[in-house]
């Protein structure tokens, strides 16, 4: 950090002296070039989802994440797509930042564009941060456009490949849903009301106890509507170790489902059941109290 901030100061001194600000390694290089739109240089990704994706999942992710990504907050994109631990995005996630940095260095070393002479807030939209941070020049505007185009070219083939698999999955799911709907209609007359013969305590875990609170509230609201002895509590992953013994079921949000086996091992000594949820399912249940409590009842019946 000392180097990248000192280089900005050195660049400003060069600029004031009428010389080229030539120090490439600066804080702006990371914020507005290497990680434009967040880690992995994902600024273009939500827009590519909206423009080229055919699957409902990626189109929905694009619509809900393009605003935060514009301000370098790309965690919703990374986990909702998901890009994290997704082999389809392994290559573009790694090489796009390197390509961006190489292009910036070419513009500074060869075309003699000024490097960053100002420090701007990291959440400044990347193209704006690049142009303002380097002192506003035609080359900076050209570079911003080039980076967006090149990043789009790099990401697009991988997005289309992943989109094709999702589209196939969605078609299969639609077919299964239609079949299940038909079966449910046939069995509708035999449906029994929800019932439990004991009190059930539910613990919902996510990264920061934000979405888990929404899920827990949905469960409690559903339990009240159905008059069921179910209570739910939200907590953040990591703060659950000392309280597992107090709960019958632990529900993991998609953000922490990679810890499923670890939590199951910790919970097994107390006889506590641990279940993971998928992204779309989890979000749906946070908005559906009856569905959330039905989900818990199903887990109780399965044992």
Read off the tokens for 213.
């609170």
233, β-bridge pairs: 203
Helices (H), 17-137: 27-29, 45-52, 56-70, 75-80, 90-109, 126-133
For residue 235, the cross-strand partners are 205
Residue 192 vs residues 153, 180, 215: alpha-carbon distances, Å: 54, 17, 24
- In sequence order, what E strands does the chain have? 200-206, 230-236, 249-252, 273-276
Q: Which two tokens stand for residue 2?
A: 């000392």
C-alpha closest to that of 38 among 126, 160, 134, 162: 126
- Locate 137 and state its tokens: 């020049």
Q: Are 120 and 147 in contact (CB under 8 A)?
A: no
Angle, helices 45-52/56-70, rounded to nearest 10 degrees: 150
Neighbours of 70 (CB within 10 A): 20
CB 116 within 8 Å of CB 28: yes
The Cα 12–Cα 28 span in angstroms is 13
- The span from the CA of 193 to the CA of 269, in Å, is 32
The residues assigned a catalytic role are: 206
């Amino acid at each position: 950090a000392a180097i990248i901030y000192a280089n900005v100061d050195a660049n400003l001194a060069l600029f004031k002296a009428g010389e080229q600000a030539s120090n490439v390694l600066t804080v702006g290089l990371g914020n507005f070039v290497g990680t434009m739109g967040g880690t992995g240089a994902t600024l273009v990704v939500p827009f590519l989802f909206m423009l080229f994706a055919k699957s409902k999942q990626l189109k929905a992710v694009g619509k809900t994440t393009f605003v935060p990504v514009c301000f370098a907050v790309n965690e919703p994109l990374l986990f909702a797509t998901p890009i994290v631990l997704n082999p389809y995005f392994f290559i573009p996630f790694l090489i796009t930042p390197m390509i961006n940095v190489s292009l910036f260095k070419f513009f500074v070393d060869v075309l003699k564009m000024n490097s960053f002479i100002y420090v701007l807030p990291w959440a400044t939209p990347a193209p704006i941060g690049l142009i303002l941070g380097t002192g506003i020049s035609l080359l900076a505007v050209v570079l911003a456009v080039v980076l967006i185009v090149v990043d789009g070219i790099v990401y697009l083939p991988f997005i289309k490949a992943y989109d094709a698999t999702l589209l196939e999955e969605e078609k299969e799911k639609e077919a299964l849903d239609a079949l299940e709907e038909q079966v449910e209609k046939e069995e509708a007359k035999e449906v029994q009301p929800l019932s439990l013969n004991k009190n059930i305590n539910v613990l919902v875990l996510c990264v920061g106890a934000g979405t888990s609170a929404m899920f827990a509230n949905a469960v409690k609201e559903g339990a009240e509507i159905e008059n069921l002895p179910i209570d739910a509590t939200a907590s953040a992953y990591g703060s659950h170790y000392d309280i597992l013994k107090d709960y019958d079921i632990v529900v993991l949000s998609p953000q922490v489902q990679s810890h499923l086996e670890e939590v199951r091992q910790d919970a097994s000594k107390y006889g506590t059941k641990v279940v993971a949820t998928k992204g779309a399912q989890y979000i749906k249940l946070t908005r559906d109290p009856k569905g959330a409590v039905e989900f818990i009842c199903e887990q109780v019946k399965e044992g």
